Copies of this chain bind each other. A is one copy, B any other.
Amino acid sequence: MRDVRAALRQQRIETPSWAYANSGTRFKVFAQAGVPRNPEEKIADAGVVHRLTGVAPTVALHIPWDKVDDYAALAKYAADQGVGIGAINANVFQDDDYKLGSVTNPDPAVRRKATDHLLECVDIMDATGSRDLKLWFSDGTNYPGQDSIRARQDRLAEALREVYDRLGDDQRMLLEYKLFEPAFYTTDVPDWGTSYAHCIELGPKATVCIDTGHHAPGTNIEFIVAFLLRAGKLGAFDFNSRFYADDDLMVGAADPFQLFRIMHEIVSADALGEDAGIAFMLDQCHNIEPKIPAIIRSVMNVQEATAKALLVDADALAAAQRAGDVLGANAALMDAYNTDVRPLLRELREEMGLDPDPMAAYARSGYAEKIVAERVGGEQAGWGA
């Protein structure tokens, strides 16, 4: 039990600045009172989440949504809130120029502009001290024939190479993939294989980012996790959950067993700790539920799945596997999954000087009421700002 607690105590989950802001679907964004109006307010909210959970010490930024004049000052502000700046997320999908793609656009001028933005993000990383540049490309096509699939790969490779070469010694590139949306016929990085192949070509600083919501129906995500861990190419997770497509629900909400299986692969490969170099990040939307509580709940969901994974009796599991005991091996895994780990986590939080129930502590804190009262006027942050 000692090791389980130590592992849980050292767990690190990064929250995304944009999850504190408004978001929605193409049909409607339901604005919420108290939502941040600038990067500082998002960071302040992230600080609250970390103070209550103890395991969310960094916050990811999204450029240009979190664009500021002085990133060093922003990092200082974050430190004052008790959190650090995490990954820098590039955004090359919201300018009118990007209608037919960013780094894969048929127009070289648009590609130049997009690549320059990626390079600018590395500049920001230099200023914030961020290790990771997260790249997600909405690039793709909507209709058969619209563009050459192969030519777009050539353009993608060229842009990635330029950005890769700009990375500092301690900086990394995380290449995310996504099956579809907003592109509806081809996507230029649609699956882990495509991301992996580019990362292999680029070199050791390029690794794959798995967004748990970005797969075709029936895809076995823990297989991908295990495969990339074996290949040394798993760099990060964007956690969220989904019933259908990229629904971006709270991680663990749609299929808690799947999250457990993913964390089981992580624990099996001894890849939970910081030295394994895997960034565990949330990337989700809170369209109808309140933002901060949703993020606290998400952090707790990851903790619970991790605790269960840590409780798997690895020796019993391995013995059953070696013996070809199908039901016995399955039972060894399920035994951990079926355990109620909430008491353990409550105790752990108390050991860490935290409230055992972060949700209740937040509700009691008055923070929700405070931001509703204070954040009046100005423009609420959202996906477009």
Q: Measuring CB to CB, which residues of chain A are less than 8 angstroms from any residue of chain B?
A: 23-28, 30-31, 93-94, 96, 98-100, 106-107, 138, 142-151, 153-154, 179-182, 184-187, 190-194, 196-197, 200, 215-220, 222-224, 226-227, 229-231, 242-245, 247, 249-250, 253-257, 261, 265, 268-269, 287-290, 293-294, 297, 304, 317-318, 320-324, 326-327, 329-334, 337-340, 342, 359, 383
List of B residues within 8 angstroms of A215 by Cβ: 216
In the complex, the answer to whether B218 meets A243 with C-beta atoms within 8 Å is yes
| Contact between B153 and A226, CB atoms less than 8 A apart | yes
A383 to B146, CA, bound (A): 25
Q: Are A244 and B327 in contact (CB under 8 A)?
A: no
Asked if B142 and A287 make an inter-chain contact with CB atoms under 8 angstroms apart, the answer reads yes
Q: Are B304 and A146 in contact (CB under 8 A)?
A: no
Instruction: Check A321 against B148 for contact (C-beta < 8 Å).
Output: yes
Do A327 and B150 touch (CB < 8 A)? no
CB distance from A191 to the nearest CB of B (A): 6
The 8 Å CB contact of A218, one of B100, B138, B180, B329, is B180
14 further interface pairs, Cβ-Cβ under 8 Å (given A142-B326, A143-B289, A190-B220): A26-B182, A147-B321, A148-B318, A149-B222, A180-B218, A180-B243, A181-B244, A185-B220, A191-B192, A193-B196, A196-B197, A218-B244, A256-B337, A304-B338
Residue of B nearest to A233 (CB): B197
Whether A145 lies near B197 (C-beta < 8 A) is: no
Q: Given known contacts A180-B243, A197-B196, A289-B326, is B150 in contact with A226 (CB within 8 Å)?
A: yes
Establish whether residues A94 and B28, one from each chain, have CB atoms under 8 Å apart when the complex forms.
yes
- Nearest-CB distance from A381 to chain B (Å)? 15
Given contacts A99-B30, A196-B193, A244-B245, contact A317 B145 (CB under 8 A): yes
- Picked from B200, B223, B289, the residue with its CB within 8 Å of the CB of A186 is B223
- Whether the pair A193, B190 counts as a contact (CB closer than 8 A) is no
- Known contacts being A25-B26, A327-B290, is A227 close to B197, with CB within 8 Å? yes
C-alpha spacing A138/B287, complex, angstroms:
14
Chain B residues closer than 8 Å to A334, beta-carbon distance: 144-145
Q: What is the count of identical protomers in the complex?
A: 4
Closest Cβ–Cβ distance, residue A282 to chain B (whole Å): 15
Chain B: CB-nearest residue to A192? B193
Please determine whether A269 and B94 come into contact, CB atoms closer than 8 angstroms.
no
When C-beta atoms are compared, the residue in chain B nearest to A293 turns out to be B327
B243 to A220, Cβ gap below 8 A? yes
The answer on a CB contact under 8 Å between A289 and B327 is yes
In the docked arrangement, what's the CA distance between A359 and B328, Å?
Answer: 10
- Across the interface, name the chain B residue whose C-beta is closest to A97: B30
Instruction: Find chain B residues with CB under 8 A from A323 CB.
Output: 106
Name the contact of A182 in the complex, choosing from B25, B143, B200 (C-beta under 8 A).
B25
For the complex of A and B, list the 10 residue pairs with the smallest distance between their C-beta atoms, beginning with the closest: A193-B193, A145-B333, A216-B216, A217-B217, A149-B226, A25-B182, A184-B247, A340-B340, A143-B330, A180-B244
- Taking CB atoms, residues of chain B closer than 8 Å to A218 are 179-180, 216-217, 243-244
A147 cross-chain contacts in B, Cβ below 8 A: 321, 329
Q: How far is the CA of A359 from the CA of B377 in the complex (A)?
A: 49
Q: Is the CB of A184 within 8 A of B340?
A: no
Residues of B within 8 Å of A322, CB to CB, are: 106
Q: With the chains together, A337 CA to B252 CA distance in Å?
A: 12
List, sorted by A's number, 21 A–B pairs whose CB atoms are closer than 8 Å: A27-B93, A27-B138, A27-B181, A31-B96, A99-B288, A142-B249, A142-B289, A143-B253, A144-B334, A147-B321, A148-B318, A150-B265, A150-B269, A153-B230, A180-B218, A184-B242, A184-B247, A187-B223, A215-B216, A297-B327, A338-B342
